[in-house]
Chains A and B, each alone.
Chain A
């Protein structure tokens, strides 16, 4: 049974870089069957898809975050990461990592989420 666990600082200062890591267990991020995604929910708002990385290293991002977000992978540790530069208070959110099926025929799976607050 695959599990995903987000980790990283819970507090980031404005203008700095938010860095989160998702550790995957029970499955491999080298699998061609899945996209490995980041999703967030800002306080009082809906779910926002940030982007994904695929086993090949290809990435896709939300247009609204494309200029600030970078998703990378570490296959040796079975982890993938999100870097979001130049953060503001508007980036305060619960951040989730997720596994989304490339074929569409298996269940997506999410981590429990981690709250990141942007504040001085």
Chain B
């Protein structure tokens, strides 16, 4: 099983700051199988990034993804008030598919 580790666990930022979220895998997999989700309480997770760097439909360009092999990054160039949420990475290249434990982005 591919174990995904996300860091930091919590990221405290002020609006306008840059957010860098890390997702590290216990083994390498094809980068086209890495997605990032934003999750807010009471809502379904929102797909932000798929295939490591593909921005999902309707996602603003302040969200970007990068990485390969075992190291992946989600960057929010300037955090907006609506971006405070929990972010999960997921790999769907090697069964069983797995999620990371999440990074909470909260207001500083």
Contact = CB atoms under 8 A, between A and B. Distances in A.
Nearest to A102: B92
A42 to B, nearest CB: 13
Interface stretch (A12-20, A72-80, A83-91, A106-114): A106-114
A112 B49 CA distance: 18
A47 B88 contact: yes
Contacts of B98: 49
B94 to A, nearest CB: 10
Given A104-B30, A104-B32, A107-B56, A51 B96 contact: yes
A108 B35 contact: yes
Contacts of A96: 44-45
Interface residues of A, number: 28
B44 A104 contact: no
A105 B99 contact: no
Max chain B Cβ within 10 angstroms of own Cβ: one of A37, A49, A51, A113: A49
A55 B38 CA distance: 28
A103 B32 contact: yes
Given A46-B102, A60-B95, A111 B32 contact: no
Contact of A104 (B33, B39, B57, B102): B33
Interface of A: 35, 37, 39, 41, 46-49, 51-52, 60-63, 96, 100-101, 103-113
3 A-B pairs closest in CB distance? A104-B32, A60-B95, A104-B33
